[in-house]
Structure 1
C-alpha cells in the first residue's frame, strides 16, 4: 500500500527550477528518486515548468493562485504576504488530498503556520538553511514539545548551531545522477561555481589556483547585496584576466582559450552557467574548489562535481568533511596552502571512482529511500500515540 505524502515547495520558483533554485532542485530529485518506492506524492508548487516536467512522473500537482512571482516581487514587502498565502493554500489543498504526512520545504512562514495550527497530520520539516542567526534559533525553539512536527537536518554540521531541538534524522541531499555525464579527459583549470560573495571564497580560489599554476574559471552571479558588489569590485574583478560573460558562446570561447599553451595561469570569468554549461564546466575541470568561509549546511556543488567525475578540494568548514572523503572524492584542507598541495594530487583520483563515490553516497534514489524510511517512522510514531 502506498503512503500518501504531500510536498510543499517554496512560493518563488518552479520544481524543477528554470535555472538557479537549490531547494526546488532537491525536491525535483526527491521525486525522481521515489519512482520505484511505494509512495504517492502530492506536490504543491508554483511555476509553469512543473507541469511540463513532472506530470509524466506519477505525481499529483497543485498550484497557488499565481504561478511564480519571484522576478516581480523579489525582496519587496509583498513577499511575506505571498509566502503566507502560498502556505495556507498549500495546507488547504493537501488537506483535500487526504495526505497521511506533509513534507514541508517551504521555509519559516509555512513552518510558523504549522506551529500555530498544530496540525493533525504529521509534518516533516526539512531544514535547508543555516541555523546560526539568533532569530532563527528563537523561532525553532518554539517547536519544543509540539506534537506531529518533526525536523530533519541536511548535514550533521548544520545542527551544531542549534543542537537543542529534536532532530529525527540527517538526510543528505541527492541528485539525479543520469543528468550528469562523466568526463574522463580533464583540462588544466580549477573551477569555482556559485554566488560571488565573500562567504564563497573566490579570492582564496584565485590565490590557490595561481600558486598551483593552473587557470581558474569562476562561474556564477555577483551577489546583489552591498557586500557582494563591494567584494566583486574590490577583490575579484581586478584579478580577472579574461571575461566571457558577454560572449555569445562562452563555452566555445573557453575551449579555445584552454587549447592555447600558456604558462601563465589565467583567471577567467565565465558568468552564470546554465545546466548544460555547468555540467561541461564540471566535467572538464581538474578539480572544483570550495574555499568557503561559512558553515555551509550542504553544498550541492560538491555532489554535482563528483557526479561529473571531478574531485572537490574544500576547506574544513560546514558540511565539506561530511561530503568529501580524502583520496576518494577530493580533499578536505585547512587553508589555502593546503588547497594548493591538494590540487597537485587531484589527478590521482580517477573520474570513474569519483563518480562511483557520488552514486553510492548522494544519488536521488538514496535520498528518496532515506526520506521514505523517515515517513514510515513518523507514521508509526504517530500511530503508537493514538
Structure 2
C-alpha cells in the first residue's frame, strides 16, 4: 500500500510549537511507517519524518515572512497532485482547496475535514463529494449536507505526556488567543474562583488581545507565558488544577483537552461542539453552560480521579487507535475502488453493490444535493426504489413523483426514468433489480447532465 499524505505548510510537520493539523499528520505518518506502510509526506522541507518527504517550500510561511501563503500553497498542492498517480491512495489534510484538483487524477482520495472555518467553504465540499471520501474528526463536526465514510478521532503520542498524579494550584488556559476560544471568559472564571490563571498560546487576534486580554494581565493572578514547546507544555498541563476550555464556537475536536487529560488534569469546558465526545462528564472533567456553572464545577475538581483522566485518553485517543482507524478507512476505500464495478463514484454521487445474485441485484445509491441521474431506460430488467433518507423527485415516463424516506416506487422494464435530489442533504435509496441481465451496459441514456452516452 503506497499512501501520500498532504500536510498544510503553515507550520512544519511536526510543528515546533503551534500547528494542530500538522501535529496530527505527523503522528499518523510516523504510525503508518512503523506498521510497514509505504508513506510519502508532502510538507515543508524542514519537516521531520521516517517516511519519504516531498516538498516545494523549504520552510513554513508562518515562520518565514518572505513567503506568500497563496503562492506556496498553490505550488505545494500542485506538486502533490502531479505525483498522485504514483500512489494507491492520497490523503488530504489541507482543507478544501485540494478538492478542486481531484477530478484531474484517477487515484482514490480521502479528505479529513479538520473543521469548517466558515459555511462559505461548504460549496466546495459539496461539489467534490463525488471525488473524495470524507472523514470527520468528531460526530459533532459533521455537516448534514455531506456524505461521510467514517469518524476518526485524533490521537496523541501518550509517551510524550507524563502523568502527574498530584493536583496543581493554578488554572490553565492552553490555546490560541481568540474570541472563539474564550480567553476572556477563562480570565473571568479564574477571577471568580480566586485562583491564579496561566495563559499559554499564540496570539491569533491581535486586537482582541490588546484591548481585552492584555489589560487583565498582572503577572501574578493572570499570567501570559506565550506559546510553549513540548517540554514546557507537559509541565504546565500536568501541574494545573484544571484546564479551562470556555469555547464560544462548536469546537471540532480540541487537542489540548485530550493532552490535558493525558497528564491527569481534568477539564472544565463549555458544552459545545465535540466536547461531549472528548470529555467524560463528571469523570474526566465537567461540561458546563456558562461562567457561573464553570466556577461551580471547579469546586468539584478534587472529587475527580486524575488516573481516570489518563485511562480515558489511553483507551480512546491514543496514536495507535487513530492509525488503526485510518488503516481501516484506507482498506475500505481500496476495496470500494477495486476493478469489477462493485463500487463507483459518479458525477452525481456514488453507488455500491450490496448483493449480486444470478436472478437479482441490490444497490445502495447516494445522490448528492442538487444532482440527478440520467434520464434512461433498461430493456432487460425492472427496478424497485426504496427511499432511505433525503428527498427524491422521480421522473417516470414524463411524470414527476416526489418521495421521502420510507416510500418507494416501481420502475417497469423499458420505462423512461430518472432520480433527482432536490433537497439540501444527500439522498440515499436502495435499488433492487430483477430480470435477465444486470450489467451497466443495459442503460440507454435519453438525456444526461454530464454528456454521457
What's the TM-score, normalizing by structure 1?
0.83
In 1, Cα distance between equivalents of 2:44 and 2:214: 36
2:122 to 92, 116, 137: 137
Mapped to 2, the partners of 1:33 and 1:178 lie a distance apart of: 13
Check conservation: 2:16, 2:229, Cα contact below 8 A.
no
Identify which of 265, 278, 285 aligns with 2:233: 278
Question: SS of 1:278's equivalent?
Answer: helix
Match of 1:33 in 2: 31
SS in 2 for 1:155: coil
Match among 163, 172, 181 for residue 182 of structure 1: 163
1:82 pairs with one of 60, 69, 72: 72
Q: Which has the higher strand share?
A: 2
Spell out, residue by residue over 1:188-220, the C-alpha distance to the aligned partner (whole angstroms, 9 max, x if none). 111001111111111111221222221111112
Q: Supply the RMSD in Å over aligned alpha carbons.
A: 1.9
Structure 2 counterpart of 1:158: 141
Verify: 1:63 aligned to 2:55, yes or no: yes
Match of 1:375 among 327, 330, 333: 330
Q: Within the alignment, does 1:122 sit opposite 2:108 as a pair? A: yes
How far apart are the structure 2 equivalents of 1:280 and 1:347?
A: 20
Distance 2:47 2:5 in 1: 17
Q: Which residue of 271, 295, 310 maps to 1:316? A: 271
Runs of 4+ in 1 over 4 A off after TM superposition: none
Q: Larger relative contact order (C-alpha < 8 A, sep ≥ 6)?
A: 1
- 1:60 deviation in Å? 2.0
Which residue of 83, 88, 103 maps to 1:100? 88
- Provide the residue aligned with 1:248 in structure 2: none
1:335 to 280, 290, 315: 290
Identify unmatched segments of 5+ residues in structure 2: 345-453
Unmatched runs of 5 consecutive residues or more in structure 1: 244-265
CA contact (8 A) 2:269 2:275 kept: yes
The residue that corresponds to 1:249 in the other structure is none
Q: What is the aligned residue count?
A: 341
Aligned mates of 2:57, 2:191 — CA distance in 1 = 51
Q: Compute the displacement of 1:67 (Å).
A: 4.0
Contact map agreement 2:18 2:227 (CA 8 A) in 1: no
Structure 1 residue 344 and structure 2 residue 299: aligned? yes
Measured in 1, the distance between the counterparts of 2:41 and 2:297 equals 42
**Equivalent position to 2:97, from 109, 112, 118:** 109
- Summarize deviations over 1:80-138 as a string: whole Å, max 9, x none: 2321211111122343xx32111111232222112x41x3111000111325x232112
Q: Deviations over 1:39-73 (max 9, x none)?
A: 322211113141xxx23xxx222222644343335
Indicate conservation of the 8 Å contact 2:45/2:57, yes or no: no
User: d(CA) in 1 for partners of 2:207 and 2:158?
Assistant: 37
Instruction: Report SS of the residue matched to 2:140.
Output: helix
Q: Secondary structure of the equivalent of 2:186? A: helix
* Matched residue, 1:288: 243
Contact map agreement 1:285 1:310 (CA 8 A) in 2? yes
SS at match of 1:232: helix
Cross-structure match for 1:241: 218
Contact 1:42 1:94 in 2 (8 A): no
Q: Rate the CA distance shift 1:237–1:26 in 2: closer, same or farther, 3 A.
A: same
With over 3 angstroms needed to count, the CA separation of the structure-2 counterparts of 1:65 and 1:31, relative to structure 1, is: closer
> Structure 2 vs 1, CA of residues 35 and 345 (structure 1 numbering), >3 Å: closer, same or farther?
farther
* Separation of aligned partners in 2, 1:233 and 1:353: 38
Is residue 29–residue 41 contact of structure 2 (8 Å, CA) maintained in 1?
Answer: no
Alignment correspondent of 2:199: 218
Which residue matches 1:202? 183
- State which structure, 1 or 2, has the greater radius of gyration over its C-alpha atoms: 2
Q: When you count helix as a share of all residues, which structure comes out higher?
A: 1
Picking from 363, 366, 370, the partner of 2:318 is: 363
Match of 1:250 in 2: none
